Amino acid sequence: MKLLIIGGNGTIGGNGTIGNKVTSHFAKNNEVLVAGRTAGDVQVDITDSNSIKAMFEKTVPVDAVVCIAGEAKWAPFNDLTEDDYYIGLKSKLMGQVNLVRIGQHYLNPNGSITLSTGILADDPVVKTTSAAMVNGGIHSFVQAAALEIPSGMRLNVVSLGMVEDAYENYKDYFPGHNPVPMKKVVNAYVRSVEGKTNGSIIRYYE
Protein backbone atom coordinates (compact mmCIF):
# COMPACT_ATOMS: atom_id res chain seq x y z
CA MET A 1 0.00 0.00 0.00
CA LYS A 2 1.18 3.53 -0.73
CA LEU A 3 0.38 6.03 2.01
CA LEU A 4 0.67 9.79 2.08
CA ILE A 5 0.93 10.99 5.68
CA ILE A 6 0.45 14.73 6.08
CA GLY A 7 2.19 15.86 9.24
CA GLY A 8 3.90 12.49 9.39
CA ASN A 9 7.13 14.11 10.49
CA GLY A 10 5.47 16.23 13.12
CA THR A 11 6.18 19.53 11.44
CA ILE A 12 2.54 20.57 10.99
CA GLY A 13 0.67 21.42 14.17
CA GLY A 14 0.78 19.62 17.49
CA ASN A 15 4.09 18.45 18.82
CA GLY A 16 4.66 15.70 16.33
CA THR A 17 4.40 12.83 18.78
CA ILE A 18 1.54 11.20 16.90
CA GLY A 19 2.82 11.75 13.36
CA ASN A 20 6.19 10.21 14.05
CA LYS A 21 4.80 7.07 15.70
CA VAL A 22 2.15 6.48 13.04
CA THR A 23 4.64 7.01 10.22
CA SER A 24 7.16 4.60 11.76
CA HIS A 25 4.50 1.94 12.07
CA PHE A 26 3.18 2.11 8.52
CA ALA A 27 6.69 2.45 7.04
CA LYS A 28 7.53 -1.08 8.19
CA ASN A 29 5.37 -2.72 5.53
CA ASN A 30 4.25 0.02 3.16
CA GLU A 31 5.55 2.73 0.92
CA VAL A 32 5.09 5.93 2.93
CA LEU A 33 5.43 9.48 1.66
CA VAL A 34 5.50 12.19 4.30
CA ALA A 35 4.18 15.68 3.64
CA GLY A 36 5.52 18.40 5.90
CA ARG A 37 5.39 22.14 6.02
CA THR A 38 9.09 22.53 5.32
CA ALA A 39 10.66 19.04 5.43
CA GLY A 40 9.41 15.62 4.34
CA ASP A 41 9.10 14.02 0.91
CA VAL A 42 6.78 16.77 -0.29
CA GLN A 43 5.87 20.15 1.15
CA VAL A 44 2.36 21.38 1.83
CA ASP A 45 0.57 24.31 3.44
CA ILE A 46 -2.80 22.81 4.35
CA THR A 47 -4.39 26.26 4.68
CA ASP A 48 -3.91 26.70 0.92
CA SER A 49 -5.99 24.66 -1.55
CA ASN A 50 -3.48 25.21 -4.33
CA SER A 51 -0.72 23.81 -2.15
CA ILE A 52 -2.86 20.77 -1.34
CA LYS A 53 -3.53 20.21 -5.04
CA ALA A 54 0.17 20.54 -5.86
CA MET A 55 1.00 18.00 -3.14
CA PHE A 56 -1.36 15.42 -4.64
CA GLU A 57 -0.04 16.07 -8.16
CA LYS A 58 3.45 15.19 -6.90
CA THR A 59 2.42 12.04 -5.02
CA VAL A 60 -0.35 10.55 -7.13
CA PRO A 61 -1.58 7.86 -7.03
CA VAL A 62 -1.95 6.90 -3.37
CA ASP A 63 -4.01 4.27 -1.56
CA ALA A 64 -4.36 6.03 1.75
CA VAL A 65 -4.11 9.62 2.89
CA VAL A 66 -3.63 10.25 6.60
CA CYS A 67 -3.74 13.78 7.97
CA ILE A 68 -2.11 14.36 11.35
CA ALA A 69 -1.91 18.10 10.93
CA GLY A 70 -3.82 21.27 11.60
CA GLU A 71 -3.64 24.12 14.03
CA ALA A 72 -6.05 26.03 16.24
CA LYS A 73 -5.31 28.73 18.80
CA TRP A 74 -5.57 27.85 22.47
CA ALA A 75 -6.39 30.78 24.74
CA PRO A 76 -8.92 31.84 27.38
CA PHE A 77 -12.37 32.45 25.87
CA ASN A 78 -12.21 36.15 26.62
CA ASP A 79 -8.80 36.50 24.96
CA LEU A 80 -9.76 34.83 21.67
CA THR A 81 -10.57 37.41 19.00
CA GLU A 82 -12.77 36.72 16.01
CA ASP A 83 -9.62 36.50 13.88
CA ASP A 84 -8.11 33.97 16.28
CA TYR A 85 -10.97 31.57 15.51
CA TYR A 86 -10.13 31.80 11.82
CA ILE A 87 -6.68 30.29 12.49
CA GLY A 88 -8.39 27.02 13.35
CA LEU A 89 -11.13 27.40 10.74
CA LYS A 90 -8.58 27.84 7.94
CA SER A 91 -6.08 25.23 9.16
CA LYS A 92 -7.50 22.29 11.10
CA LEU A 93 -11.08 22.64 9.81
CA MET A 94 -11.01 23.79 6.17
CA GLY A 95 -7.51 22.37 5.69
CA GLN A 96 -8.89 18.90 6.37
CA VAL A 97 -12.12 19.56 4.43
CA ASN A 98 -10.03 20.60 1.43
CA LEU A 99 -7.88 17.48 1.74
CA VAL A 100 -11.05 15.44 1.23
CA ARG A 101 -12.57 17.70 -1.45
CA ILE A 102 -9.37 17.60 -3.50
CA GLY A 103 -7.83 14.32 -2.40
CA GLN A 104 -10.80 12.16 -3.40
CA HIS A 105 -9.87 12.73 -7.03
CA TYR A 106 -6.28 11.48 -6.53
CA LEU A 107 -6.93 8.27 -4.62
CA ASN A 108 -6.72 4.80 -6.08
CA PRO A 109 -10.07 2.96 -6.18
CA ASN A 110 -11.01 1.75 -2.71
CA GLY A 111 -8.57 4.23 -1.19
CA SER A 112 -9.11 5.86 2.19
CA ILE A 113 -8.70 9.24 3.84
CA THR A 114 -8.16 9.53 7.59
CA LEU A 115 -8.42 12.88 9.37
CA SER A 116 -7.47 13.78 12.95
CA THR A 117 -9.31 15.60 15.72
CA GLY A 118 -9.28 14.91 19.46
CA ILE A 119 -11.19 14.48 22.68
CA LEU A 120 -11.89 18.23 22.93
CA ALA A 121 -14.71 17.75 20.43
CA ASP A 122 -16.62 15.73 23.01
CA ASP A 123 -15.06 16.71 26.32
CA PRO A 124 -13.38 20.11 26.11
CA VAL A 125 -11.20 21.80 28.70
CA VAL A 126 -10.57 25.45 29.50
CA LYS A 127 -8.93 27.54 26.74
CA THR A 128 -10.19 25.31 23.93
CA THR A 129 -13.33 26.98 22.58
CA SER A 130 -11.66 27.30 19.18
CA ALA A 131 -9.90 23.93 19.17
CA ALA A 132 -13.00 22.08 20.40
CA MET A 133 -15.13 23.79 17.76
CA VAL A 134 -12.99 22.78 14.80
CA ASN A 135 -12.72 19.22 16.08
CA GLY A 136 -16.49 18.93 16.45
CA GLY A 137 -17.00 20.42 13.01
CA ILE A 138 -14.76 17.77 11.47
CA HIS A 139 -16.66 14.97 13.22
CA SER A 140 -19.92 16.05 11.62
CA PHE A 141 -18.26 16.79 8.27
CA VAL A 142 -16.79 13.29 8.08
CA GLN A 143 -20.16 11.67 8.74
CA ALA A 144 -21.77 13.84 6.06
CA ALA A 145 -19.05 13.59 3.41
CA ALA A 146 -18.84 9.80 3.81
CA LEU A 147 -22.35 9.67 2.31
CA GLU A 148 -21.15 11.34 -0.89
CA ILE A 149 -17.54 10.35 -1.63
CA PRO A 150 -17.00 7.98 -4.58
CA SER A 151 -18.25 4.44 -4.13
CA GLY A 152 -15.61 2.21 -2.55
CA MET A 153 -13.65 5.09 -1.07
CA ARG A 154 -13.60 5.48 2.71
CA LEU A 155 -13.35 8.51 4.99
CA ASN A 156 -12.87 8.40 8.75
CA VAL A 157 -11.54 10.56 11.56
CA VAL A 158 -9.39 9.54 14.52
CA SER A 159 -10.25 11.34 17.77
CA LEU A 160 -7.74 10.67 20.52
CA GLY A 161 -7.55 11.62 24.17
CA MET A 162 -4.34 13.18 25.41
CA VAL A 163 -1.63 10.87 24.12
CA GLU A 164 1.02 9.34 26.33
CA ASP A 165 3.96 11.01 24.59
CA ALA A 166 2.39 14.46 25.11
CA TYR A 167 1.38 13.86 28.73
CA GLU A 168 4.20 15.82 30.37
CA ASN A 169 3.63 18.89 28.20
CA TYR A 170 -0.15 18.95 28.34
CA LYS A 171 -1.20 17.32 31.61
CA ASP A 172 -1.96 20.64 33.32
CA TYR A 173 -4.57 21.44 30.68
CA PHE A 174 -6.31 18.08 31.15
CA PRO A 175 -6.94 17.53 34.86
CA GLY A 176 -7.86 13.92 35.53
CA HIS A 177 -7.52 12.81 31.95
CA ASN A 178 -5.85 9.47 31.33
CA PRO A 179 -3.13 9.34 28.69
CA VAL A 180 -3.73 7.13 25.67
CA PRO A 181 -0.89 4.60 25.20
CA MET A 182 1.00 5.13 21.93
CA LYS A 183 0.27 1.55 20.87
CA LYS A 184 -3.44 2.41 20.94
CA VAL A 185 -2.77 5.68 19.10
CA VAL A 186 -1.15 3.78 16.24
CA ASN A 187 -3.98 1.23 16.25
CA ALA A 188 -6.61 3.94 15.82
CA TYR A 189 -5.02 4.90 12.49
CA VAL A 190 -4.52 1.24 11.52
CA ARG A 191 -8.23 0.66 12.09
CA SER A 192 -9.12 3.43 9.70
CA VAL A 193 -6.53 2.65 7.01
CA GLU A 194 -6.67 -1.16 7.04
CA GLY A 195 -10.25 -1.71 8.23
CA LYS A 196 -13.33 -1.33 6.11
CA THR A 197 -15.24 1.29 8.08
CA ASN A 198 -16.49 4.48 6.39
CA GLY A 199 -17.80 7.65 8.00
CA SER A 200 -16.60 6.60 11.44
CA ILE A 201 -15.38 8.73 14.30
CA ILE A 202 -12.75 6.42 15.79
CA ARG A 203 -12.66 7.57 19.39
CA TYR A 204 -9.82 6.26 21.56
CA TYR A 205 -10.28 7.88 24.94
CA GLU A 206 -8.99 6.28 28.14
Q: In 3D, which of 54, 6, 53 has the Cα closest to residue 32?
A: 6
Considering the complex, what minimum distance in angstroms separates the CB of residue 142 from a second copy? 9
The nearer residue to a second copy, 57 or 123, going by C-beta atoms, is 123
Considering the complex, what minimum distance in angstroms separates the CB of residue 49 from a second copy? 6
The nearer residue to a second copy, 136 or 181, going by C-beta atoms, is 136
> Residue 87 is inside which H or E element, if any?
helix 82-88
User: Reading across the β-sheet that carries 154-160, which strands appear in turn?
Assistant: 42-43, 31-36, 2-6, 62-67, 107-116, 154-160, 201-204
Q: What residue type is 160 in one-letter code?
A: L
Considering the complex, what minimum distance in angstroms separates the CB of residue 57 from a second copy? 18
The nearer residue to a second copy, 29 or 78, going by C-beta atoms, is 78
The nearer residue to a second copy, 59 or 96, going by C-beta atoms, is 96
The nearer residue to a second copy, 59 or 98, going by C-beta atoms, is 98
Q: Footprint of a second copy on this chain (CB under 8 A)?
A: 49, 76-78, 80, 82, 85, 89, 93-94, 97-98, 101, 120-129, 131-141, 143-145, 147-149
CA distance 181 to 175: 17
> Residue 192 is inside which H or E element, if any?
helix 182-194
Considering the complex, what minimum distance in angstroms separates the CB of residue 159 from a second copy? 11
Task: Evaluate whether 35 touches 56 at the Cβ level (below 8 Å).
Answer: no
Considering the complex, what minimum distance in angstroms separates the CB of residue 41 from a second copy? 25
The nearer residue to a second copy, 141 or 204, going by C-beta atoms, is 141
Considering the complex, what minimum distance in angstroms separates the CB of residue 23 from a second copy? 28
CA distance 70 to 46: 7
Q: In 3D, which of 145, 92, 79 has the Cα closest to residue 120?
A: 92
